[in-house]
Amino acid sequence: MPGTNELHAIAERHDADDPLAGWRDEFHVADPDLAYLDGNSLGMPPKRTFDRVERLLRDEWGSGLIRSWDHWLDMPQRVGDQLAPLIGAAPGEVAVHDSTTVNLYQIIRTALRLRPDRSVIAIDPGDFPTDRYVVDSIAAADDLTVRAGFDRLDDVAVAVRSMIDYRTAEITDIVAETARATADGALVVWDLSHAAGLHPVDLNAAGAQLAVGCTYKFLNGGPGAPAFTYVAADLIEQLDEPFHGWFAQTDQFAMGARFRPRDDIGRMLVGTPGMLGLVAAQCGIEVTAEAGIDAIRAKSIALGRFGLGCCDALGLATSTPRIDDRRGGHLCVNHPDAKRLTTRLAAERKVLADFREPDVIRLGCSPLTTRFSDVARAALAIAELSS
């Protein structure tokens, strides 16, 4: 087993050679000695976010008051257009609005209306809880059947799938799985929460029609930052989304008696957008776009390889895929005492990770802020605390 000094030396060499190392300076790092490995739950704040939000508060809201709505109204679509290239979407196919849960509920119900002759929703029983809860609530309200897994799709109306597993970081092949579902007449709603800002998703090339995702993880949008909705351009005008909110009305300020949905992605909007959250999300999206999604993905792969190497060298069990194309942005260390170890990592070693049932210490590697030395520290600390 390599010694502590040897692993740290290897990590330091990787950090010295890291072409993205300078991007950490774009973020507010309150404690340089903290190994922050929870960026897949909440990314660090970009420095520009502080200035941008303050400017909005002081100048746009404070001085502009109601007049600022002249450039706020279309912010969900403008920020969506900035996000679109990062997920392989075209301009006009993405809106940033509301929460992941709201958007997921909205898009599933909308998709169900496109398959009125089918009554099955498919989902992985191990998928993220919010996704499962939303599916269960819709099924209960509409007397639909929830199917565990995706082996059979020929009678499925909507399949709800995460591109990257929130526990193991395993990547699903969205090209193959979208094609399989489409061939069987099912619609897929892709949850990109653990992929957006990390992986160069190409929704258009995959033939994907519907997707949602959050902006507070790898996109560094901040706590409670608004989520996004993607709808393929050729499907937008077919959608009858269920909320019929004021911001989705064709002539919003006519105050008409009848709802007439917009003919663009704006028809997915619900209510008044939260401008503070939108501006913060915009900052995180900008930093990601400027650094480059391909470079981010390359470092993510390198961090994963290094972390797996640390696990192997230290005798730590891991369920994270070893094939680069199958692995997302976090590492899972499996240990029967994982919950207590995660607490001790923070209290005794200044390593912030998180725990996932039943036995996972999850090390989130956010490429723009995570150092190889952070990963080495975490692996060594887990090995020492569990010995």
Per-residue pLDDT tens digits for 97-119: 999 999 999 999 999 999 999 99
Whole-number average pLDDT of the chain: 96
The predicted structure's pLDDT at residue 2: 61
Lowest mean pLDDT among 46-60, 179-193, 232-246: 232-246
Q: Is the per-residue pLDDT at 277 higher than 90?
A: yes
Residue located via tokens 């993880």: 217
Lowest mean pLDDT among 129-138, 157-166, 253-262, 334-343: 253-262
pLDDT tens-place string over residues 323-342: 999 999 999 999 999 999 99
Q: Judge contact between 224 and 45, C-beta under 8 A.
A: no
Place of tokens 């887990």: 382
pLDDT of residue 19: 98
Instruction: Give the residue numbers marked as catalytic.
Output: 128, 191, 216-217, 362
Given a cut of 50, whether residue 1 has pLDDT beyond it is: no
The predicted structure's pLDDT at residue 255: 86
Confidence label for 254 from pLDDT (cuts 50, 70 and 90): confident
For residue 29, pLDDT beyond 70: yes
The whole-number average pLDDT for the span 123-150 is 97
Instruction: Determine the average pLDDT of the residues in 57-86.
Output: 97
Look at residue 159 in the predicted model and tell me its pLDDT: 98
Q: What is the mean pLDDT of residues 256-278?
A: 94
**What would the mean pLDDT of 307-333 be, rounded to a whole number?**
96
Rounded distance, CA 184 to CA 151, Å? 11
Name the DSSP class of 185.
T
For strand 360-364 and strand 354-356, is the pairing parallel, antiparallel, or unpaired? antiparallel
Q: What angle do CA 310, 312, 318 make, to 5 degrees?
A: 95
Mean pLDDT of 141-167: 97
Confidence label for 284 from pLDDT (cuts 50, 70 and 90): very high
Determine whether 328 is exposed, middle or buried from the number of CB atoms within 10 Å of its CB (0-12, 13-18, 19+): buried
